[in-house]
């Protein structure tokens, strides 16, 4: 069975500062279907937004943000578990940081746990450990975390579900003539050095972190597919019908 990591961003998971329950439901339904064909791991943002629905603190302060993540992470997992109950899928939580991929021994321990979970058809739900990680040790965005998860946990592919339906030749929110790129084989160095401009209160990524994730995998011979997390039809065709209708495939040559 092929192994796939799906990463879903905060824009997809949240709406007006709260969790976007309908979108989470649709995502769970897609994952449940895909689990018949693939071993799946989910990298999910959304802990801070989930926390905010319970405790509306000012999330611009780091200590508040970490407190919100601490409140929100278990709540987010409980929302996922409730969703997956109807498919009789058990979920699990792995909180990882950059240091977990630093040492071979730590990575092996995490990998053994993942292998055991997958063998038993449990869905690992992964997030960065926002509460305790110190600044030097953070990825800071789940795009790059998910690329490490895909590479170190031996996935065949990473799928990033975003608020945009693919990678364009220029920012489609600024340029109305931007064109979607269906296949990308390499990413120019200067594109990776652009400033990260996250596009909302909860987002910490932007397109640059997605390109960095794609580049990390391309350099290691693995593909990444980027598609809309609002409308799941492109990712569904790609995963379940082997049809590349919409979305961008970053593919090693
Ligand atoms: P997420 O919350 O899913 O991680 P972000 O909102 O952080 O996603 O990043 C995606 C956004 O990046 C898009 O909504 C778009 O506004 C912006 N963007 C900038 N340049 C591009 C580009 N060339 N192609 C696609 N999106 C781009």
Q: Is the pLDDT of residue 200 over 70?
A: no
- Cα separation, 178 vs 168, in Å, equals 6
CATH number at residue 101: 3.40.1160.10
Q: Is the pLDDT of residue 188 over 60?
A: yes
pLDDT tens digits, residue range 97-152?
888 898 888 899 999 999 999 999 999 999 998 776 666 556 778 999 999 999 99
Q: Which domain holds residue 152?
A: 2-250
**Do 228 and 247 touch, CB atoms closer than 8 A?**
yes
Nearest ligand 1 atom to the CA of 204 is: 7
**Do 31 and 139 touch, CB atoms closer than 8 A?**
no
- Cα separation, 175 vs 45, in Å, equals 28
Residue-averaged pLDDT of the chain: 92
**Do 183 and 226 touch, CB atoms closer than 8 A?**
no
**Do 30 and 65 touch, CB atoms closer than 8 A?**
no
| Strongest mean pLDDT among 52-61, 127-136, 186-195, 215-224 | 215-224
Mean pLDDT in residue range 58-64: 89
Q: What is the pLDDT of residue 168?
A: 95
pLDDT tens digits, residue range 210-243?
999 999 999 999 999 999 999 999 999 999 999 9
Q: Extract the tokens encoding 227.
A: 């598609």
Q: How close is the Cα of 95 to the center of ligand 1, in Å?
A: 25
- Check if 207 has its Cβ closer than 6 Å to any atom of ligand 1: yes
Q: How close is the Cα of 176 to the center of ligand 1, in Å?
A: 15
- Split into its structural domains, the chain has a count of 1
Nearest ligand 1 atom to the CA of 178 is: 23
Mean pLDDT in residue range 169-185: 94
Q: How close is the Cα of 167 to the center of ligand 1, in Å?
A: 8
């Amino acid at each position: 069975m092929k192994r796939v990591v799906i990463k879903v961003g905060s824009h997809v998971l949240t709406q007006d500062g709260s969790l976007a329950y309908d979108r989470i439901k649709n995502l769970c339904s897609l994952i449940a279907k895909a689990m018949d064909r693939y071993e799946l791991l989910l990298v999910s943002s959304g802990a801070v937004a989930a926390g905010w629905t319970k405790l509306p603190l000012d999330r611009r302060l780091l200590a508040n943000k970490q407190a919100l993540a601490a409140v929100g992470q278990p709540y987010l997992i409980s929302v996922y578990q409730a969703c997956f109950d109807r498919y009789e899928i058990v979920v699990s939580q792995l909180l990882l940081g950059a240091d977990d991929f630093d040492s071979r021994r730590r990575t092996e321990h995490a990998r053994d746990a993942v292998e055991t979970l997958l063998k038993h058809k449990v869905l690992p739900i992964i997030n960065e450990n926002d509460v305790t990680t110190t600044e030097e040790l953070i990825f800071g965005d789940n795009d790059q975390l998910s690329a490490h998860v895909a590479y170190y946990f031996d996935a065949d592919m990473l799928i990033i579900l975003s608020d945009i339906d693919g990678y364009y030749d220029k920012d489609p929110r600024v340029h109305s003539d931007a064109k979607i790129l269906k296949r990308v084989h390499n990413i120019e160095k200067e594109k990776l050095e652009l400033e990260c401009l996250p596009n909302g209160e909860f987002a910490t990524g932007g397109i640059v972190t997605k390109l960095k994730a794609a580049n990390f995998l391309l350099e290691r011979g693995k593909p990444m597919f980027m598609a809309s997390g609002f409308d799941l039809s492109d990712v569904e065709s790609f995963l379940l019908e082997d049809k590349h209708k919409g979305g961008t495939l970053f593919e090693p040559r």
